[in-house]
Amino acid sequence: MDVQAFFTYDVFLSFRGSDTRYGVTGYLYKALTDKGIRTFIHDSELQIGDEITPSLFKAIEESRICIIIFSTNYASSSFCLDELTAILYSYEEERNGRVVFPVFYHVESSVIRHGRGSYGDALAKHEERFMKDGVHRVKKWRTSLCKAANLSGYHFTGDGYEHEFIEAIVEYVCKQVTHVVPLHTADADQAVGIEPRVNNVNSLLDLGSDNVLLLGIYGMGGIGKTTIARAVYDSISDQFEGLCFLNNVRDDSDKFGPMHLQETMLYETCGLKIKLGGVNEGIRIIKQRLSKKKVLLVLDDVNKLMQLEVIAGAYDWFGPGSRIIITTREHHLLVMHGVDIIYEVDELSEGESLDLLCRSAFKTNKVDPSYADILKRVFTFTSGLPLALRAVGSYLFGRNINEWESALDLYERIPHNDIQTILRISFDSLEEEEKDIFLDIACFFNGDKLEYVEDILLARYGVSVRYSIRVLIEKSLIYIDKGLVTLHNLVEDMGKEIVRQESPKEPGERSRLWFVNDVVQVLEDNSGSAAIEILFLDFPIHAMNSNGSKGGEVNWDGEALKNMRNLKTLVIRNGSFNQGPTHLPNSLRVLEWWGYPSPSLPNDFHPKKLAMLKLPESCLRISEPIQGVINLTVLDFSYSDWITHIPDVSGLQNLEKIYFKQCENLTRIHESVGLLEKLRILNVVHCKKLSALPPIRLTSLEHLNLSHCSVLESFPEILGKMENLTELHIMGSPIKELPYSIQNLIRLRKLELHICGMVRLPSSIVMLPELSLMCVSKCQRLWFSEQDKGEELESKSSKTEHLTLSYCNISDELLPIGLAWFANVKDLNLSGNNFETLHACIKECPFLRNLKMDYCDNIQEIKGLPWKLESFSAKGCTSLKYMDLAGESHSLRELILDDCVFLREIIGDLPNLNHFSAKNCVSLTSQCTSMLMNQESVEAGNKMFSLPGKKIPDWFALQSREESTAFYFRNKFPAVSVCLVIGHLDEKPIAVNFSPKVFINGNKLSSGNQFVYNFRVATDHILLFDLRLLKFEDNGDALFLDNEWNHVVVSYVDHITDNEVPIRVVSKYSGIHVFNQISGMEDIRFTIPQKTLINATLDSTNSMMVPSQKVLFLIFLKIMTKRPEEDQTVVLSPTLKSIQSPSPTSEVVKGLVPLPTFPVKRPLPDVGEEISENLSDEEVCVTAIQKDLPVIQRCSEGDDVELESISCEEKYSSNTEGSDSDDPFDLVNRKLYDSGMATISSGERSGDASMRSIREAINGLELLMVNDLSEVSSDPAKLSELHQLLDLLSTSSHPKVTVEVKEAIVEFKKNVFLSFQEFQSAAESVNKLKNFERQLAVIQQKTMEGKGQRTDLKNTIKKVSLAMTAEISRKKELEAENATLRIQLDTNERELEQVVLNLKNQEEILSTYSTSCASLNEQARALLKQTDDLLAASSGIKQDGEAAELKQSRIKLTWSIDLTSQLNKMKKTILGFFE
């Protein structure tokens, strides 16, 4: 692993803020940071001035990757153009592994390259603006735009999901960052010694094995375990399907519990957001989700076996090839868990230690030799421990050699390996306030957001905090990682130990309390003291108290804080208190208490220096004005059910932040809140009973959140100019009207209203000078104020360029008003509205470039569009039937009409249309489709079309039935369009998700802007795209073979998302069309190009062939090879092996796949003894091959060329291999083959005469004979010369010219002139052969078409047969059901008769009962009479009874009084007598 140059940032984002900051750029930034990619983004979209600041240029230079997001208005910003120029300049000056690539977001690269459209307009304005002294500057911008547009990048045109587009970019960036600059080893000092250790670990991981493997990295604290694990993780992460790096397992487990670790791992590895009910549930889900997935998991800083058991408890939890890496200080944990391999990290070597020390102490690895000895002293007492080396080096930075000597004397008194003491020296070197800030961070804020930490520290220490934090970073005591304040565990432990040593046995005597047990002890025992300055209580989240709420319990008397007279910061994040405090120290600067248990603050609490008051989820009631805390900057009472109003805060003029989030009973806000001059944030989100806000004049306000206030119907009046509020987002609040005074938000750039009921916009909205984006969506109704129709504003139009008025029930009457207000708009979204016609005033928007009106269900026709419109989308307009774009849409480049199922006609010439999508527009007429997909239009280039259709256009040259399409090219990549027909498996709609992939010579080309098709279709569709749209990256040129044929395969690989059916199953046809005007056909082939060479050595010096034999051989060779104007080339082949030409890979639909060729073998007599030693006459043959292959050049004596032959019988047999021998079409092909063989044999046989010896000295005859036969036979001079030479030889009187030689000469002469005659007759035979081959091609084509038709017919018959079988089966089922129903009907009839009979019986019984009932009624009446009589007589009885009851009462009274009295008298008399 090579550690590359240092980069501060992984990615630098260049973009137009008003275009994309809150869209694609914002989402991309979040996606990158979520992946741990260090990304630079401008803090504000407002750039002051036109110059690139040094800090910004520094950020560009220190960024590994620069992403330029080109949007519609990118070029309108001179700052963006300067930034682009700076990026390209920096990239060209020093690449060093850096990457620059563009993202073309709703804009085409050609528009940028040629300065057209919005880019042309912007540059023209710049030229006017800089006419005097900036012409050169604008030229540089043009050059930079052109350079950037030529770079490979990513294109997004709206066809597909934006999140998938962003994911593709993030995936690419991750690979670049991973392979070049490992995330955690980018710092030079951290990289020292890492490479060999990472290589060792990687070798132990055995990445080629499919076994699941657990590897432990063991070593003492500070030795670099985490750094090594992170570097290993970064270097191999691209080989795994799921990734997770769990930092600080020890701390997170203690603080949040093991379920939190499981939840984090599930989210990181498979994107599952879940709240687990227990660790067992987590184990079950981990096994379920990851058992088939190849996972890379790192568990950092494990200290308990339980942590391993709940996260990586067994091998079968993870898929094959998974790797689990564990870092720990506890060797026995790894042994107990059965870890496969344990790697013990060794200390740095002396050389590595000195390198790291130098980088820390001198910021370079080149040091004055005079420091050599003293550096070795440092190595001795640090023992090669990286953390200690960095701490010592940072401490010694900037000191002279004498100071080094003095410091080392101190260090060397420290016991060996006492890292805490070594780190303590760095702490002791700090100033007092810096020490306090460090101890605060170490004890309380490790892992917290920097903004939160700064707010609390600022409240206590003031503005010097930021400087002190910078010092701590420079001393290597703290780090800022992704906006979080972090410390190494040993450094944190050192800080806590320093505080603990203040009072080892009495926590109440320490300056800071953070350990839960210590805090609870002090609060419950009242053992606190004036020494305590910060008290911080944060129970582990997984802890539960007896009430079932989170956190532990504190049972105190409320008096414990009374003794803490110097308490500056009190933070209670959770916990249940049995009662509230009776006293709070007035020394408090920060009071943060979640769930404050009392309804009020103590009466004696008057904290004059309190800066932060945060009491979320509290029981506090507020009734009186908040006074006496003039230094208060933060007020937070969020999530409280007891807050009903915000009281008078006029005495809090330093307030900067007010949070009353989700106070569901909040009904009103005091008017003083609207007049706080320093207020920057006001947040009352989810206050469901808040109905109004007071008027506001908040000159410092930057953020206002009024969303989800269910009864808030009015926006506050704005009393004066407010310059700092640049964005306003309101969602879910039924605000009926924005005030006319909204024009006072003079710096407002972005206004968004979502789900806000019936909204009325004021006319003053057009007066906002910087409003560039306005979005009103999903509101019940959108109105424009009546006053808007006044003459005063008729000529005024908003400067808004990006306008969305979607799903707001805009009618035909209101649309013209809105368009008149926003006539300068460039991007307009009117989707989901109710208008029936696109109003003619749309043409009065002269700058409109992009128009979207998707899902406007009522619109029926569209007549005319703005003449400069470049993109138009009307997806899902189900009533749309007609579009007339004649004469007005020459600028239109993109037209999206998906799911307009009743659209029939599109009229008009669209010469610049590049992207047309009409998926599921099943009513489009064939004339309309033909007009859009005409050859001339497609050959204009850069086309991407998708629309219903079953047939590839006829003018596509090559058509086949395969999942991929192939061709060959040379010199340069040709201009080619590819077409694909996607079909159906059954009647259900399918969701297509695939992208074309290009392979050159077997190597996949990387494409920075893959087009991903993602859509649902209910019928066959045609997809057409220009291959040149795929902007290949650098590897494209590397794969091309210069001056040779390159093999290209365009593959359609991905799948149907509904049911995972491969794309090849539903791709019916594919085709290729070459743009002849751009790419010459001589440089492209649809069949395998073959070299046609001759390899025959005619070495006259050593050859045993006499001159006359050579001459005849050359004559014959010339006759058979010098035929450039004919349709075939004849190849002489003295090689032993025959090469079989690959058969076509697809069924031929159109006849450019080569037809079978037929061999013509002609024995060559007397070629010579040398050649005959290797070959027989039968093996030397001539093969006819097609004319489009390279032709043999003229050969001369002594040429050394290779002869090849193709066995065409094998080629033909390969085409018919596996076919049915009785198939009539195959019989036609076989007969054609036999007939062709006979014709060729009869028409091509020549040269049967044998050669005789002739003298080698006849050079003149040889020179004549090497001329082409056609030249000799047609040149009288050469014929005369030939006669003379032969006559000279035949009449020679030389004794060696014997009678036999003269006879041979005569025979030779005869053969020569016979060759002339046969040559002439052969031409006629060749012409006949050409006609014959043409007829063969026609018959072959008809045969293949017949085969295809027959196949289609067979498939149709099969479908009909299956349908008939199904219908017959259904018929039988129905008949069986009918029979069953008849039986049931008979049974039911019998049952009905029985029921009728039963009814009659019941009627008789009922009659009897009726009679009995009448008799009973008579009896009842008699009883009633008796009752009346009895009641009448009862009055006397009642009186007698009452008299009797009265008499009984008197008797009882007599008994209880009189008789008792008599008894007492008797008792007294008797007892008294005896007494």
CB 122 within 8 A of CB 76: yes
- Give the H/E segment covering residue 1342: helix 1299-1453
Helices within 822-954 (DSSP H only): 926-932, 935-938
Report the SS3 class of residue 219.
coil
Residues sharing a CB contact under 8 Å with residue 134, sequence separation 6 or more, in sequence order = 126
Place of tokens 């000159």: 699
Question: In whole angstroms, what is the distance from residue 796 CA to residue 216 CA?
Answer: 71
For the chain, the residue count is: 1475
* Rounded Cα gap, residues 387 and 345, in angstroms: 14
Q: What is the largest CA-CA distance in the chain?
A: 211
Residue 1101 has a CB neighbour count (10 Å cut-off) of 5
Q: From the candidates 83, 263, 553, 801, give the one annotated as an active-site residue.
A: 83
How far is the CA of 363 from the CAs of 188, 246, 366, 374, 923, in angstroms?
9, 31, 9, 17, 72
Rama region for 995: left / alpha / beta (φ>0; ψ in -120 to 50; rest): beta
Question: Could you write out the DSSP letters of every residue in 1113-1152?
Answer: HHHHHHHHH--TTSSEEEEEE--S--BPPPPPSS-BSSTT
* Beta strand residue intervals within 1007-1091, DSSP E: 1013-1017, 1021-1026, 1046-1052, 1055-1056, 1061-1062, 1067-1074, 1084-1085
Contacts of 1450 (CB under 8 A, 6+ apart): none
Residue with tokens 């039924």: 734
Is residue 359 within 8 A of residue 390, CB to CB? The reply is no
The angle at the Cα of 526, spanning 522 to 527, to the nearest 5 degrees, equals 60
- DSSP track, 233-271: HHHHGGG-SEEEEE--HHHHHHHH-HHHHHHHHHHHHH-
The closest of 749, 756, 743 to 728, measured between CA atoms, is 749
d(CA 719, CA 693): 13
Answer for the pair 198, 231: CB distance below 8 angstroms, yes or no: yes
Instruction: Return the H-helix or E-strand segment holding 658.
Output: strand 657-659
- For the purposes of burial, counting CB atoms within 10 Å of the CB of 134, is it exposed (0-12), middle (13-18) or buried (19 or more)? middle
- For residue 328, give the 3-state DSSP assignment: strand
Taking alpha carbons only, the member of 564, 533, 565, 569 closest to residue 453 is 569
Q: In this structure, are residues 102 and 109 in contact, taking their beta carbons and an 8 Å threshold?
A: yes
What type of residue is 539? Answer: F
* Residues forming beta bridges with residue 1016, ordered by sequence position: 991
Strand, helix or coil for residue 1073: strand
Any catalytic annotation for residue 677? no
Sheet holding 39-40, edge to edge: 39-40, 9-14, 63-70, 99-105, 154-156
Question: Do strands 990-994 and 861-863 pair parallel, antiparallel, or not at all (unpaired)?
Answer: unpaired
Tokens 């009449």 — which residue?
A: 1291
Measured distance CA(171)–CA(1319) in Å, rounded: 67
Q: Which residues are tagged catalytic?
A: 83
